[in-house]
Homo-oligomer: A and B are copies of this chain.
Amino acid sequence: MTSAPKSNAVQPIIWLGDRLRLLDQRLLPLEETYLDCRSAAEVAEAIHGMAVRGAPAIGIAAAYGLVLAVRGDLKAFEAAEQVLAASRPTAVNLRWALARLRGLWQRGADAAALELEARRIHEEDLAQNLHMGELGAALLPQHARVITHCNTGALATGGHGTALGVIRTAYAQGKIGQVYNTETRPWLQGARLTAWELMREGIPAKLIADGAAAHLMRIERIDWVIVGADRIATNGDTANKIGTYMLAVAARRHGAKFMVVAPSGTFDLDCPNGEAIPIEERIATELTEFRGQQIAPGGMQAFNPVFDVTPAELIDAIVCERGVIANPTVDKITALLR
């Protein structure tokens, strides 16, 4: 990741030629520990176990995982591809990154060419984020007061971040007045990871409970809600971390604008709209326990969807590296991606 700007110290994905070094995000913010993966299976396990998370970061890690697999034997490609694709089924970037390497591999590329492509995916992601940061920051007013959700920063990407990348760039431009970041139940990525990134850079930020966002919008001016995306349908409907839709509904009521920031690899043109996006549900214990401590009574059932869908009508702007789509529609999206 030699192209990472010096100012951005967070390096969650480091390619070392013979192994992939991952910042173990499960231990943040209390410990900065790195995990070395020497095989595709180890990378898949790191993705599945959420040592690395965030749609773009997962795609990049998976690409390096394929590279680790083909170093000894190019024929190991397909088995590795399968295990990596299964590691987190929802993020569309994962499938997209694997497909990029598959295209090359089918045309007979060798291990060195595949490694170059993985590094390119990584570097492109960072470059795209820096560009999206500029595009998104240009939409913000001076002294902008913004809310962000989940973690979409350097930790979730090849560096800089998507939604948090916009906030980073805007802060560097002196445009940020106040950031509020949701804790993001049940995994607390906001409380753990986004808070950690914001504090490292000295960006003025306050943590809020997910349910406090509408109250905050009611009592104080919020200019923009800025979020990432795990998948964007052809009509602009956007799947993102659970809680995003509620923020969009509250934002519309209070006149706050709503921005989705995601690279073009996040669009899924096979999905006509949000109804077609599968929503992963996870086990009840993510809500009924906390780090192994029981919270709810034993046997309590839970409904634990990981993502929700925000309809395009509630989105004021989708920022991707190819440009800004205001009030997204099928026509605008297909025109930009064509």
Chain A interfacial positions (CB closer than 8 Å to B): 29-30, 180, 182-186, 188, 191-192, 195-196, 199, 205-216, 218-219, 242-243, 245-246, 249-250, 253, 279, 284, 287-288, 290-291, 293-297, 299-305, 308-309
Contacts and interface: CB of A to CB of B under 8 A. Distances in A.
A296 B207 contact: yes
A286 to B, nearest CB: 9
A211 B191 contact: no
Nearest to A293: B291
B295 A192 contact: yes
A196 B296 CA distance: 7
A11 B37 CA distance: 55
Contacts of A246: 211, 213-215, 246, 250
B207 A210 contact: no
Contact of A192 (B218, B296, B303): B296
A3 B209 CA distance: 39
Residue in A191, A210, A212, A309 with the greatest tally of chain B CB atoms within 10 Å: A212
Given A196-B297, A212-B305, A214-B308, 20 more contacts: A29-B297, A182-B211, A183-B185, A183-B287, A183-B296, A185-B185, A185-B210, A191-B288, A191-B300, A199-B300, A208-B302, A208-B303, A209-B242, A210-B211, A211-B242, A212-B308, A214-B249, A215-B242, A215-B246, A291-B293
A215 B305 contact: yes
Nearest to A178: B303
A242 B212 contact: yes
Contact of A209 (B195, B199, B243): B243
Give the number of times this chain occurs in the complex, counting copies.
Answer: 2
B218 A308 contact: yes
Given A191-B295, A218-B309, A301 B211 contact: no
Nearest to A186: B209
Contacts of A308: 212, 214-215, 218
A300 B195 contact: yes
Enumerate the 10 nearest inter-chain pairs by beta-carbon distance, A residue then B residue, closest first.
Answer: A211-B243, A215-B308, A210-B211, A214-B246, A29-B297, A207-B302, A185-B209, A195-B296, A206-B303, A191-B296
Contacts of A245: 214-215, 218
Contacts of A186: 209
